[in-house]
Structure 1
């Protein structure tokens, strides 16, 4: 069959033909999900030569993706912050556009990163046989007009949240496949509480709270001071309480402490904190409770079964610009999937050292803790049990008419 591009593109690739796929992710979580998708495609089609290139972070490069653009440094939030880095984004956009027009990939896979990737889809949709979007933009939360762009420029949306397929259907877009959330089959602590505590000089018999300040610099800038101050306050109220700061692989102890000092918090608030890097799942699995920056990490905590408080804070300017455009009153993904507020959300002005310390104390109450863990079971079931990356790879293969090897 011939290849036809446009609003109703049709394409068919010869069996076992070498395929060239551009894949674009711009944040740490997207980099991780994209890398697992690449691995799953190669595992399911070992006899097909697959060449991946695009915007890649550390994990995608380790999975063999050629980095036309390095994703490190692309994870930026905030209006002023994005404006300051606009030349970087424009340069990355031009490089990817040029690479696509020159190399003519058989497919374009866009992973999350909506402000950048939806523009790329619009620019390249008439030049690439198939545009597949993995991890839907949160159009159900804000800027719903983006659904129209998705209708015109995306051939298949791979959804990771159970309510998204129905949302798109209500808005006239049916080319949606729910594959489950990537973390459902991949989030599991590698070691238990006893070994984790031994590794980091902690006492497994004493209460332990894990603090997740986020992976983006701007998240850490605004959450770290409150987390540190709340930690100091609750430690003064609960004898023997242990606090672990779980840092993303791309962040350091210096990032956290610098943010705390810039936030005007005294250095005593940092005393006794234990830092771990790249051990988020282990830190959550070992914790009695956690304070988690809103995002995918709340679902990781849910899958692991850790009672949590959802926290988030941005600059006053960003909050004033963005908050009125958000159409939902629930921020935490764990609460959106549950359909009601399991976890308390401390957002913007509600996030103070006092409010967070109070919620941590509440979560450490044995009866509250037990009830919370039981409620998280419904969230785990909603996310599915199968490996979403493998299901996503199967959906990509169907879209590209890839036969099983």
Structure 2
């Protein structure tokens, strides 16, 4: 069968790559064309556009790049028509993907959505377009099934969180060799995860780096995103007491003692690695003012949302500053606080569903297509 997959960011590239592996495994005749990143490209198929050319963060940033976004949508529609897929698989990225779904539905193309848009957080009225345009929805957060089925009478498939597989299937590393390879000291490591987009890295990293001088008994290491070159990070690193490691986030988390993490998928990844963390988020003043009026959530991190309580501290906008960050970092280095966090992390893993999300999703997609 012919599959057209659209993923518009780093997390979608990871989950898309694992879904592609499962599809190739289960369908010997699979032909895949996709929008994604390096991980999906390694699996096979034909890469149409890389997500680094698509990712615009925040309301103001989207407005500034609206012409590029509209051109990408037009290009995508034409490419889909030429490819003539048996199914269009959309991975999160709703601003772009919902427009493509509306178009594809009118063209009679089957639409399967893997990883739901977060309509439980904002833009809940998107449920009407989802019910109209989407043939099958695969959700990865436990509370999403109840949200769709009980509140909106729209049946969905809960497949568990694909991060459980991504982490379980990774190659194990030797910590001593890892430290030697990247010239790390013997001090406990505090990982800095400033995000994957240039806009968020600019907002987050400078404040994160100020902690290195305040906690001299620890080794601070920046987790470089695969979508950004070292040259971009270099201007933020003004002292040699901080190390930089690109595209090895899982390896880094596996040997880290604590972490400071920009809100996003990385917050859940860090928790599943059982690393005590502080979640941070800061955007432009305009984007924040608009966002806080539209988003109705008690928490911003996936960890706290899944657990429905504050497991990890969230420092948002003005609360994300040098003084507050130092205070909270001291807290997660405290043994008593760390012990409580570990217990919550194990409960979080149970709530996130069993392993095999990619396999389950591929099975369900193929079963539905073959029965239609």
Asked whether the two chains share a fold, i.e. TM above 0.5, the reply is: yes
Residue 202 (structure 2) aligns with: 221
Q: TM-score, normalised by structure 2?
A: 0.94
Partners of 2:240 and 2:342 in 1: how far apart? 30
Please say if residues 258 and 276 of structure 2, whose CA atoms lie closer than 8 Å, have aligned partners that are also in contact.
Answer: yes
Confirm whether residue 129 of structure 1 aligns to residue 114 of structure 2.
Answer: no
Residue 308 (structure 2) aligns with: 339
Please say if residues 243 and 273 of structure 1, whose CA atoms lie closer than 8 Å, have aligned partners that are also in contact.
Answer: yes
Of the three residues 107, 111, 117, the one matched with 2:87 is 107
Superposed, 1:224-303 pairs within 5 Å as: 224-232=205-213, 234-235=214-215, 239-258=216-235, 260=236, 267=238, 270-303=239-272
- The Cα offsets for residues 92-113 of structure 1, whole Å up to 9 and x where unpaired, read as 2112211222332211100111
Q: TM-score, normalised by structure 1?
A: 0.87
Of the three residues 10, 13, 28, the one matched with 1:31 is 13
Confirm whether residue 364 of structure 1 aligns to residue 333 of structure 2.
Answer: yes
> Which structure shows the bigger proportion of residues in helix conformation?
2
- The Cα offsets for residues 254-297 of structure 1, whole Å up to 9 and x where unpaired, read as 32343x38xxxxx3xx3310111111112112111111111111
Computed over aligned residues only, the root mean square deviation of the Cα atoms, in angstroms, reads 1.8
Confirm whether residue 20 of structure 1 aligns to residue 2 of structure 2.
Answer: yes
Please say if residues 112 and 134 of structure 2, whose CA atoms lie closer than 8 Å, have aligned partners that are also in contact.
Answer: yes
- The Cα offsets for residues 131-174 of structure 1, whole Å up to 9 and x where unpaired, read as 00011000001111011110101011110111101001133243
Please say if residues 69 and 96 of structure 1, whose CA atoms lie closer than 8 Å, have aligned partners that are also in contact.
Answer: no
Cα 1:332/1:69, change in 2 over 3 Å: same
Q: Which runs of 5+ in 1 are unaligned?
A: 1-18, 262-266
Partners of 2:208 and 2:147 in 1: how far apart? 35
Aligned residue for 1:184, secondary structure, equals helix
1:220 Cα deviation (Å)?
0.2
1:45 Cα deviation (Å)?
2.3
Partners of 2:212 and 2:292 in 1: how far apart? 28
1:189 Cα deviation (Å)?
6.2
1:201 Cα deviation (Å)?
2.6
Partners of 2:50 and 2:224 in 1: how far apart? 21
Aligned residue-pair number: 370
Partners of 1:402 and 1:64 in 2: how far apart? 26
- The Cα offsets for residues 305-351 of structure 1, whole Å up to 9 and x where unpaired, read as 10111011101111011111001120000111112110000011110
Partners of 2:125 and 2:101 in 1: how far apart? 15
Larger mean CA deviation between 78-87 and 187-196 belongs to 187-196
Residue 122 (structure 2) aligns with: 142
